[in-house]
Amino acid sequence: MLVNLTKILPAARRGNYAICAFNINNMEIAQGVVNAAVKLNRPVVLQTSQGAIEYAGMEYLAAFGHIAAETHQKLPIVLHLDHGTDEVLVERTIKSGWYSSVMIDASRNPFSKNISITRRIVALAHARGMSVEAELGPILGIEDQVRVSRAEAAFTDPAQVKKFVAETKCDALAVSVGTAHGPVKYAPGEKPSLDFKRIAAIAAATKIPLVLHGASSVPHDVILELHEQCSRLGDCARVHDAVGVPEAQIKKAIGFGISKINIDTDVRIAFTAAVRKTLLNDSQLIDPRKILGPARDAVEKLVERKIRLFSGVK
Ligand SMILES: [Zn+2]
Residue 261 C-alpha to ligand 1 middle, in angstroms? 10
| Average pLDDT score over residue span 154-167 | 95
82 is a catalytic site residue = yes
Q: In the prediction, which pLDDT does 240 show? A: 74
Instruction: Kindly give, in sequence order, each residue whose CB lies less than 8 Å from that of residue 128, ignoring residues fewer than 6 positions away.
Output: 94, 95, 97
Q: Of 82, 144, 264, 266, which is the active-site residue?
A: 82
The number of distinct structural domains making up the chain is: 1
**DSSP tag of 6:** G
* pLDDT-wise least confident of 3-7, 164-168, 197-201, 236-240: 236-240
Report how far ligand 1's centroid is from the alpha carbon of 137 (Å): 12
* CATH code: domain of residue 226: 3.20.20.70
- Structure confidence at residue 193 as a pLDDT band (50, 70, 90): confident
Q: What is the pTM of this model?
A: 0.95
Confidence grade of residue 243 (pLDDT, cut at 50, 70, 90):
confident
Contact 138, 154 (CB under 8 A): yes
Q: What is the mean pLDDT of the chain?
A: 94
Q: How far is the CA of 214 from the centre of ligand 1 (A)?
A: 6
Q: What is the DSSP string of 186-247?
A: S-TTPPP---HHHHHHHHHH--SPEEE-S-----HHHHHHHHHHHHHHT-GGGGTT-B---H
53: containing domain: 5-310
How far is ligand 1, taken at its centre, from the CA of residue 247, in Å? 17
176 CA → ligand 1 middle, Å? 10
CA distance 82 to 97: 16
Task: Give the pairing type, strands 172-175 and 146-148.
Answer: unpaired
The percentage of residues in the chain with a pLDDT greater than 70, rounded to a whole number, is 98
